[in-house]
Amino acid sequence: MSKKKKEIKDKPLDMKHLDIALKCSQIYKIINEANLDLSKLRDECDHPKTYIGDYQTHYGHIIENATICFVCNELLNTVSKTPLSLYTNEYTFKI
């Protein structure tokens, strides 16, 4: 373990930061439960209506021309993938 991490680990937390840590843990638990519920709902969905659009999986990662379920917003498949490159200055955005 690095020396810096050991120093941080040994430093006691005050009540403010203990409260922040508790609230963060509670929020992460809610997010995990919501993701499980969303996954179950998407498994139940028959995807009766779809559309073609751009799908953002996370910040800065866009899948263009994706087939998306109109009901549950699940990414079903892609016609083509054009990832944004972090190594060039050429970015394409559809507005």
CA 79 to each of CA 26, 65, 71, 76: distance values in angstroms, whole numbers, following the listed order: 39, 6, 20, 10
Q: Which residue has the higher pLDDT, 10 or 29?
A: 29
User: Using CA atoms, how far apart are residues 62 and 29, in angstroms rounded to an integer?
Assistant: 27
What is the reported pLDDT for 13? 81
Sheet holding 61-69, edge to edge: 50-58, 61-69, 75-78
What is the reported pLDDT for 10? 67
**Bridge partners (DSSP) listed for residue 52:** 67
Prediction pTM value: 0.60
User: Using CA atoms, how far apart are residues 66 and 70, in angstroms rounded to an integer?
Assistant: 12
Condensed to tens digits (0 to 9), the pLDDT of residues 17-76 reads: 999 999 999 999 999 999 999 999 999 999 999 999 998 887 888 888 899 999 999 999
pLDDT bin (cut points 50, 70, 90) of residue 86 is very low
